[in-house]
Amino acid sequence: MTVRDVILNELAQGLRPMSQGIEWFDALVPEEQAETLLFLCHHCVQARAVTEDGPESIRRAGLRPTHTPAVLITRGPIDQQLGKIAGLVPADERRKAFRLLVAVLAIADERRRERFCSGACGHWWHRLDVADG
Protein backbone atom coordinates (compact mmCIF):
# COMPACT_ATOMS: atom_id res chain seq x y z
CA MET A 1 0.00 0.00 0.00
CA THR A 2 1.33 3.43 -0.99
CA VAL A 3 0.33 6.95 -0.03
CA ARG A 4 -1.30 7.20 -3.47
CA ASP A 5 -3.35 4.06 -2.78
CA VAL A 6 -4.63 5.46 0.50
CA ILE A 7 -5.42 8.92 -0.90
CA LEU A 8 -7.35 7.55 -3.88
CA ASN A 9 -9.34 5.11 -1.78
CA GLU A 10 -10.11 7.78 0.82
CA LEU A 11 -11.37 10.04 -1.97
CA ALA A 12 -13.52 7.27 -3.45
CA GLN A 13 -15.01 6.47 -0.04
CA GLY A 14 -15.67 10.10 0.85
CA LEU A 15 -13.17 9.99 3.73
CA ARG A 16 -11.17 12.83 2.18
CA PRO A 17 -12.69 15.89 0.44
CA MET A 18 -12.23 16.14 -3.32
CA SER A 19 -10.70 19.60 -2.88
CA GLN A 20 -7.74 17.93 -1.11
CA GLY A 21 -7.59 15.31 -3.85
CA ILE A 22 -7.43 17.96 -6.57
CA GLU A 23 -4.74 19.84 -4.66
CA TRP A 24 -2.72 16.63 -4.31
CA PHE A 25 -3.23 15.70 -7.98
CA ASP A 26 -2.30 19.18 -9.22
CA ALA A 27 0.98 19.01 -7.25
CA LEU A 28 2.05 15.87 -9.14
CA VAL A 29 4.36 16.20 -12.14
CA PRO A 30 2.69 15.26 -15.47
CA GLU A 31 4.23 11.76 -15.48
CA GLU A 32 2.86 11.08 -11.98
CA GLN A 33 -0.54 12.43 -13.02
CA ALA A 34 -0.56 10.03 -15.99
CA GLU A 35 0.41 7.12 -13.73
CA THR A 36 -2.29 8.07 -11.24
CA LEU A 37 -4.97 8.18 -13.96
CA LEU A 38 -3.88 4.77 -15.28
CA PHE A 39 -3.91 3.43 -11.73
CA LEU A 40 -7.45 4.75 -11.23
CA CYS A 41 -8.52 3.24 -14.56
CA HIS A 42 -7.17 -0.15 -13.51
CA HIS A 43 -8.92 0.02 -10.15
CA CYS A 44 -12.23 1.00 -11.77
CA VAL A 45 -12.00 -2.13 -13.91
CA GLN A 46 -11.02 -4.25 -10.89
CA ALA A 47 -14.00 -2.86 -8.95
CA ARG A 48 -16.21 -3.99 -11.88
CA ALA A 49 -17.32 -0.60 -13.18
CA VAL A 50 -20.10 -0.91 -15.76
CA THR A 51 -21.24 1.35 -18.57
CA GLU A 52 -24.34 2.30 -16.58
CA ASP A 53 -22.08 3.94 -13.98
CA GLY A 54 -21.27 6.74 -16.44
CA PRO A 55 -24.14 9.18 -15.88
CA GLU A 56 -23.98 9.00 -12.08
CA SER A 57 -20.18 9.35 -12.21
CA ILE A 58 -20.53 12.51 -14.30
CA ARG A 59 -23.00 13.91 -11.78
CA ARG A 60 -20.84 13.04 -8.75
CA ALA A 61 -17.74 14.47 -10.41
CA GLY A 62 -19.55 17.75 -11.02
CA LEU A 63 -18.83 17.70 -14.74
CA ARG A 64 -20.98 19.02 -17.53
CA PRO A 65 -22.10 16.37 -20.04
CA THR A 66 -20.12 18.26 -22.71
CA HIS A 67 -16.76 17.94 -20.93
CA THR A 68 -14.46 15.57 -22.80
CA PRO A 69 -14.20 12.90 -20.06
CA ALA A 70 -18.00 12.96 -19.65
CA VAL A 71 -18.53 12.53 -23.40
CA LEU A 72 -16.04 9.66 -23.52
CA ILE A 73 -17.54 7.69 -20.63
CA THR A 74 -20.93 7.63 -22.35
CA ARG A 75 -19.54 6.40 -25.69
CA GLY A 76 -19.07 2.66 -25.68
CA PRO A 77 -17.74 -0.12 -23.46
CA ILE A 78 -16.54 1.36 -20.20
CA ASP A 79 -13.25 -0.54 -20.05
CA GLN A 80 -12.21 0.99 -23.39
CA GLN A 81 -13.47 4.45 -22.46
CA LEU A 82 -11.69 4.48 -19.10
CA GLY A 83 -8.37 4.05 -20.90
CA LYS A 84 -9.17 6.96 -23.22
CA ILE A 85 -10.11 9.13 -20.26
CA ALA A 86 -6.88 8.22 -18.45
CA GLY A 87 -4.93 9.19 -21.58
CA LEU A 88 -6.17 12.77 -21.77
CA VAL A 89 -3.22 15.17 -21.89
CA PRO A 90 -4.14 18.84 -21.30
CA ALA A 91 -3.92 19.73 -17.59
CA ASP A 92 -7.55 20.89 -17.33
CA GLU A 93 -8.77 17.66 -18.99
CA ARG A 94 -6.58 15.58 -16.68
CA ARG A 95 -8.13 17.27 -13.66
CA LYS A 96 -11.63 16.50 -14.97
CA ALA A 97 -10.54 12.94 -15.77
CA PHE A 98 -9.24 12.58 -12.22
CA ARG A 99 -12.54 13.73 -10.72
CA LEU A 100 -14.52 11.44 -13.02
CA LEU A 101 -12.37 8.35 -12.44
CA VAL A 102 -12.56 8.82 -8.67
CA ALA A 103 -16.36 8.99 -9.02
CA VAL A 104 -16.43 5.83 -11.16
CA LEU A 105 -14.29 4.04 -8.59
CA ALA A 106 -16.57 5.24 -5.79
CA ILE A 107 -19.70 3.91 -7.50
CA ALA A 108 -18.19 0.59 -8.56
CA ASP A 109 -16.58 -0.01 -5.17
CA GLU A 110 -19.81 0.84 -3.32
CA ARG A 111 -21.58 -1.81 -5.37
CA ARG A 112 -18.74 -4.27 -4.83
CA ARG A 113 -18.87 -3.70 -1.06
CA GLU A 114 -22.62 -4.31 -0.98
CA ARG A 115 -22.52 -7.46 -3.11
CA PHE A 116 -19.26 -9.14 -2.20
CA CYS A 117 -17.79 -7.49 0.89
CA SER A 118 -20.76 -6.93 3.16
CA GLY A 119 -19.24 -9.20 5.79
CA ALA A 120 -15.62 -9.15 6.82
CA CYS A 121 -13.62 -8.95 3.61
CA GLY A 122 -9.84 -8.91 3.42
CA HIS A 123 -9.52 -5.70 1.40
CA TRP A 124 -7.37 -3.21 3.33
CA TRP A 125 -9.04 -0.29 1.53
CA HIS A 126 -12.42 -1.30 2.96
CA ARG A 127 -11.08 -0.79 6.46
CA LEU A 128 -9.72 2.77 6.06
CA ASP A 129 -12.51 4.34 8.10
CA VAL A 130 -11.89 1.85 10.90
CA ALA A 131 -8.11 2.34 10.79
CA ASP A 132 -8.46 6.11 11.05
CA GLY A 133 -11.21 6.14 13.66
C-alpha 102/C-alpha 86 separation (Å) is 11
C-alpha 66/C-alpha 107 separation (Å) is 21
C-alpha 5/C-alpha 36 separation (Å) is 9
Taking alpha carbons only, the member of 14, 91, 28, 19 closest to residue 2 is: 28
The answer to whether 48 touches 111, Cβ cutoff 8 Å, is yes
Alpha carbon separation from 13 to 5, 108, 129 (Å, rounded): 12, 11, 9
Q: Domain of 16? A: 3-132
Total of domains in the chain: 1
C-alpha 89/C-alpha 5 separation (Å) is 22
Averages of pLDDT over each 10 residues, the chain, 133 residues: 90 95 97 96 94 96 96 92 94 96 96 72 50 44
Taking alpha carbons only, the member of 85, 89, 49 closest to residue 70 is: 85
The answer to whether 49 touches 82, Cβ cutoff 8 Å, is yes
Say what the pTM is.
Answer: 0.86
Give the pLDDT of residue 83.
94
Taking alpha carbons only, the member of 9, 2, 38, 33 closest to residue 95 is: 33
Give the pLDDT of residue 130.
46
